[in-house]
Amino acid sequence: MLKRRIIPCLDIKDGRTVKGVNFVGIRDAGDPVDLAKRYIDEGADELVFLDITATVEKRRTLLKLVERIAAVVNIPFTVGGGISAVDDAARLLAAGADKVSVNSAAVRRPELISEIAARFGSQALVLAIDTKYVEGEWRVFVNGGREITPLQTIGWAMEAEDRGAGEILLTSMDQDGTKAGFALELTDLVSKSVQLPVIASGGAGTMEHFNSLFQRTRISAGLAASIFHYGEVKIPELKTYLKTQNIPVR
């Protein structure tokens, strides 16, 4: 069985790491470079950097900050936010990102997925899906969770796979920041509908939540932010615990 990955996420606003609940109520969580260094020392498997206001503010991702973080990390590093063209992806990969994550721009123009995959390979492209349960179905949201789209989550994940995405970062907006546990039903549905690795995001609050995620779904990785940033769950202790639950981790 493939080893499951533990991934901290740096949500970036105005050059600082921040965290909210259900995509609102943002508060400061520290310097992103310092946090990146800490996660390397703690044994994180990968690191995700999301410039959460780049799309709304209609600007590119903070390139200099990406370069500073890339200089201190030696694990796979994914960067997202404000990527609307192949050239945007090229700049971030040149700045040190190993993978780029696209979301709103791919919804507006799905060809972007195929274009990035064709130029850099599927392994360099992550499709981020922000989703919420609305009137009996999982719907895709864009613009930092501010705007609902006609897309259904499962169908969009399948289309992204067909277009060349190499991985899916799935965030439940209902669970985001609540620390009430991952959206297991949603996660299981998406992971069973595609052959791609899927990263679950939204709701992690305890080590037991990761155990439930890995025991009850086919998910490849669990992502969290605030519980790692504020030291509520420490990555080395989490990995030790998961091993006692017979979950293979790196």
Distances from the Cα of 47 to the Cα of 1, 71, 151, angstroms:
22, 13, 28
**Active-site residues: which are they?**
11, 130
Confidence of residue 63 (pLDDT cuts 50, 70, 90): confident
Q: What pLDDT shows up at residue 29?
A: 57
Flag whether pLDDT at 17 surpasses 50. yes
**Separation between Cα atoms, residue 160 and residue 185, nearest integer Å:** 20
- What is the per-residue pLDDT across 201-229, written as a single tens digit (0 to 9) for each? 999 999 999 999 999 999 999 999 989 98
Q: What pLDDT shows up at residue 64?
A: 87
The total number of residues written for the chain in this structure:
250
pTM: 0.91
Q: What pLDDT shows up at residue 19?
A: 55
Q: What pLDDT shows up at residue 157?
A: 98
Report the CATH number of the 5-244 domain. Answer: 3.20.20.70
Is residue 247 within 8 Å of 222, Cβ to Cβ?
A: no
Which has more pLDDT, 21 or 82?
82
**Separation between Cα atoms, residue 160 and residue 167, nearest integer Å:** 9
Report the candidate in 218, 117, 128 with the shortest Cα–Cα distance to residue 165: 117
Phi/psi zone of residue 177: left (φ > 0), alpha (ψ -120 to 50 degrees), beta? left
Residues β-bridged to residue 249? 4
Question: Exposed, middle or buried, 231 (CB in 10 Å: 0-12/13-18/19+)?
Answer: exposed
- What is the per-residue pLDDT across 46-56, written as a single tens digit (0 to 9) for each? 999 988 665 55
Confidence of residue 239 (pLDDT cuts 50, 70, 90): very high
**Separation between Cα atoms, residue 62 and residue 237, nearest integer Å:** 32
Phi, psi of 19 (to 5 degrees): -155, 140
Flag whether pLDDT at 57 surpasses 60. no
- The chain-wide mean pLDDT, for the chain, equals 91
- What is the per-residue pLDDT across 103-114, written as a single tens digit (0 to 9) for each? 999 999 999 999
**Separation between Cα atoms, residue 234 and residue 140, nearest integer Å:** 31
Report long-range pairs for 211-216 (Cβ below 8 Å, ≥24 apart).
Answer: 211/241, 211/242, 211/245, 211/247, 212/181, 212/182, 212/184, 213/182, 213/184, 213/187, 214/4, 214/242, 214/245, 214/247, 215/245, 215/247, 216/184, 216/188
Residues 6 or more apart in contact with residue 109 via CB below 8 angstroms: none
- Number of helices (H), then strands (E), in the chain: 10, 12
